[in-house]
């Protein structure tokens, strides 16, 4: 078994997401909002009316709004390959912004760093490879506009400073974002994903289920007997139990999905691709036995009540429904004697995720 002092090193693989825009759908909505905001800016910029640059700005704004709306519809319907769609959308983002800066001169000058911001809105969301690619594209296009535009020739010092900023600023922000995003989505005690990280994974697996070829699963579990350990051995003893459980959960369930601690003695696992349900259930059977062993280490009775909700391939569901259904299964396991898991197989749920029939039960004594 891994020494307890090493448990704090258990951390999920870092991923880079800007808060509030955690999904491709969120990014698509943000594009539409940005387009509407730029339209409002043009409407208020009365000093530019009647100029060719102002007319060009409105033409490019209309093109961007059509583009943003189209991408939103494609994402909503989950049309096409995710990777191709993301790359194509982000490239068009950069190209349209660069064209706006080049053809509208002073009109769009306040938004000269917008291509750089789009880098963090797309690349950082999907990982470092995307981030580096879009940062390079953004810097190249923005520098090309600054060096070739007759408007920016009037401000050589500012132009040079902006060009340097578009090149070097991302390097600093990447490092800062790495630390902040990991910290925001990691439980400090156990090193697992926290509630924010879990909610983002839950959104991904639910919104992607409609086009998924493989099944998936969302699991919620609550420790039985943990309060007694906290009461008799203090919070230090309780913290050690949580670290033990997090380690056991990581060992058994990481091959299937991503474990998380979502609060107190409550944990969760999100499985995005599940080929064999019996393998997942066998892993939970082992985990339940190990949970009992952890309790014995602390001379206390310890167990876990677990609810496993299976998401069928090509199904339409919502994060709220899935979470509620898994939660209902977990509490049903408690009612049936604790230290067991209940699955959603052969089980009916209301439209709100309420449980309304019996299901298969597996227990460990």
Do residues 149 and 41 make contact, with C-beta atoms less than 8 angstroms apart? no
CATH class belonging to 187-363: alpha beta
Residues 162, 164, 170: CA angle, nearest 5 degrees: 100
DSSP label at residue 270:
E
Query: Which run of H or of E encompasses 29?
Result: helix 24-44
The answer to whether residue 216 scores a pLDDT higher than 70 is yes
Q: What is the mean pLDDT of the chain?
A: 85
Lowest mean pLDDT among 50-59, 66-75, 158-167, 180-189: 180-189
Question: How confident is the model at residue 4, as a pLDDT?
Answer: 39
Instruction: State how far the Cα of 254 lies from the Cα of 231, in Å rounded to an integer.
Output: 31
More confident residue, 218 or 81: 218
Name residues whose C-beta falls within 8 Å of residue 242's C-beta, 6 or more positions apart in sequence: 189, 190, 261, 265
Cα separations in angstroms, 354 against 195, 306, 327, 330, 350: 22, 16, 9, 12, 5
Question: Taken in order 275, 276, 281, 285, is the CA torsion positive or negative?
Answer: negative
Q: Give the predicted TM-score (pTM) of the model.
A: 0.60
Query: Domain locations in the chain?
Result: 24-184, 187-363
DSSP label at residue 14:
P
Give per-residue pLDDT as tens, 148-203: 999 999 999 999 999 888 888 877 777 766 676 677 888 989 999 999 899 989 99
pLDDT band of 232, cuts 50, 70, 90:
confident
* Residue range 43-51: mean pLDDT, rounded: 92
Question: How confident is the model at residue 361, as a pLDDT?
Answer: 47
Instruction: State how far the Cα of 275 lies from the Cα of 253, in Å rounded to an integer.
Output: 14
Give per-residue pLDDT as tens, 80-135: 777 888 888 888 988 999 999 999 999 999 988 888 777 766 655 666 677 778 88
């Amino acid at each position: 078994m891994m020494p307890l002092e090493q448990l704090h090193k258990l951390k999920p693989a870092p991923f880079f997401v800007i808060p509030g825009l955690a999904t491709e759908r969120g990014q698509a909505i943000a594009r539409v909002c940005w387009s509407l905001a730029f339209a409002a800016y043009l409407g208020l910029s009365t000093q530019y009316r009647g100029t060719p640059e102002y007319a060009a700005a409105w033409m490019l704004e209309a093109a961007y709004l059509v583009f943003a709306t189209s991408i939103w519809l494609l994402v909503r319907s989950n049309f096409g390959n995710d990777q191709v769609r993301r790359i194509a959308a982000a490239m068009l983002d950069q190209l349209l912004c660069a064209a706006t800066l080049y053809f509208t001169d002073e009109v769009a000058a306040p938004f000269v760093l917008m291509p750089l911001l789009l880098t963090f809105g797309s690349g950082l969301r999907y990982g470092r490879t995307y981030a580096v690619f879009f940062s390079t594209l953004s810097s190249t296009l923005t520098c090309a506009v600054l060096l070739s535009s007759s408007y920016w020739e009037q401000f050589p010092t500012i132009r040079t400073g902006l060009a340097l900023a578009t090149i070097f600023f991302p390097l600093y922000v990447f490092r800062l974002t790495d630390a902040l995003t990991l910290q925001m989505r990691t439980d400090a005690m156990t090193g697992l994903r926290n509630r924010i990280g879990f909610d983002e994974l839950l959104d991904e697996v639910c919104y992607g289920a409609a086009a998924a070829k493989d099944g998936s699963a969302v699991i919620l579990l609550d420790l039985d007997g943990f309060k007694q350990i906290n009461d008799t051995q203090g919070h230090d003893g309780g913290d050690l139990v949580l670290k033990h459980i997090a380690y056991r959960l990581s060992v058994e369930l990481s091959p299937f999905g991503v474990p998380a601690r979502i609060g107190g003695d409550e944990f969760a696992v999100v499985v995005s691709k599940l080929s064999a349900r019996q393998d997942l259930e066998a892993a939970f059977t082992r985990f339940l036995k190990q949970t009992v062993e952890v309790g014995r280490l602390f001379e206390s009775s310890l167990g876990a009540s677990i609810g496993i909700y299976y998401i069928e391939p090509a199904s339409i569901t919502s994060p709220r429904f899935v979470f509620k259904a898994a939660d209902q299964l977990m509490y049903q396991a408690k009612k049936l004697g604790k230290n067991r898991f209940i699955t959603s197989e052969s089980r009916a749920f209301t439209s709100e995720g309420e449980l309304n029939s019996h299901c298969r039960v597996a227990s460990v004594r």
